[in-house]
Amino acid sequence: MATIAFGSDHAGFELKAHLMARLAAAGHEIIDHGTNSGESVDYPEFCAAAARSVRDGSADIGIVLGGSGQGEQLAANKVRGVRAALCNCLYTARMAREHNNANVLSIGARVVGVGLAEEIVDLFLSTPFEGGRHARRVDQISALEEEF
């Protein structure tokens, strides 16, 4: 089982609560960085906190949620060592893990329904990194962080 760090804005709050309960029931350890209601909030700190948990090793994977998932992904990607992927379909979830070794999943709660979100999360968690030529590319992405 994995330790999963969550962060969301108000638009992602209900889906976050649902996914956290589902994953906890399956035996995963959950770290909730907020938000804790549907009240309007600014999301960057919640999503960066989830990403920091992945970077510092207290979480294996991060999941960030918002209306579209776009801003949440951007905030998470500002944390060095994080490869956050916006995945609103099964194909992008699989590719994000297989080819990019993504360690944070972003989902748009206003884009996908609960059932599809569950499938995306399950696929993201169960798909291993393929390595090989993809490892070289992930290393090149990591090297870019050193430039800036």
Catalytic (active site) residue 134: no
Q: In angstroms, what CA-CA distances link 115 with 27, 83, 109, 132?
A: 19, 25, 11, 33
Catalytically annotated residue among 99, 119, 134, 147: 99
Out of 10, 33, 45, 72, the active site residue is 72
Can you list the alpha helix ranges (DSSP code H) found in 44-132? 44-55, 70-77, 90-98, 114-126
Residue 146 annotated among the catalytic residues of the structure: no
Dihedral pair phi/psi, residue 16, rounded to 5°: -60, -50
Phi and psi at residue 88, in whole multiples of 5°?
-110, 15
Token digits of residue 120: 């995306």
Q: Which of 78, 36, 70, 35 has the alpha carbon at shortest distance from 54?
A: 78
Give the SS3 label for residue 95.
helix
Catalytically active residues are 72, 99
